[in-house]
Amino acid sequence: MTVQKQQAKRPLRADTERTVRTILEAAERVLAANPAATMEQLARAAGVARTTVHRRFATREALLDELTGWAARQFAEAVDAARPDAAPPLVALYQVTANVLRVKTDWSFAMNRTAEDGHPEAARLHAEVRATCARLFRRAQEAGVLRPDIDLDWTRRVYYGLIHEAAKEGVEGGDADALATRVVDTLLRGAGAPSGLKAVP
């Protein structure tokens, strides 16, 4: 039985949970800069002994697996915290965007790894987030925030693309709230001037 499965069967003690979080946060920082970093480098960055890391994670792959799951949980919790099914649609859209950008900025390595590698828990959580986003976009359309004739599937994919680009700026130091405003403003208003279509023959 892996360390992760053992942890899933019983709650972690507060000190153990702090140690695990410290290791995962250090791993995120180090691996974002050097994906080939060793367990010894990760332990050094976390300020713990290598044996401590190995006691929590039997292998490097086990640590990466937990890091991926941890980031996915932060991602799902960030979306839920914005109350996407209860808050006014436009308010929820801004808050979801800002919350997601913070997670994508803070956990960029793990979030990118989620997209590339199979991880059942992360896949489930991301599917739930997509379903939540679909509901939010339907509510936004019903509330008149989005045009009644818009293709919601296409609009959501455009939105995901905007978040992806904004997250790159977030990693470079961009402010999540300002970036969220830019994403939603671009989604709802586009880049064309109001008179632009009049100029088209």
Measure the CA–CA gap between 71 and 173, rounded to whole angstroms: 19
Q: Which of 183, 164, 30 is nearest to 94 (CA)?
A: 183
pLDDT score, position 40: 93
pLDDT score, position 115: 56
pLDDT score, position 9: 46
Measure the CA–CA gap between 168 and 164, rounded to whole angstroms: 7
pLDDT score, position 2: 43
Which segments of the chain have a pLDDT < 70? 1-13, 114-117, 193-201
Q: What is the pTM of this model?
A: 0.83
pLDDT score, position 86: 97
pLDDT score, position 172: 82
∠ CA 136-141-142, nearest 5°, is: 95
Residue 195 burial by Cβ neighbours in a 10 Å radius (0-12, 13-18, 19+): exposed
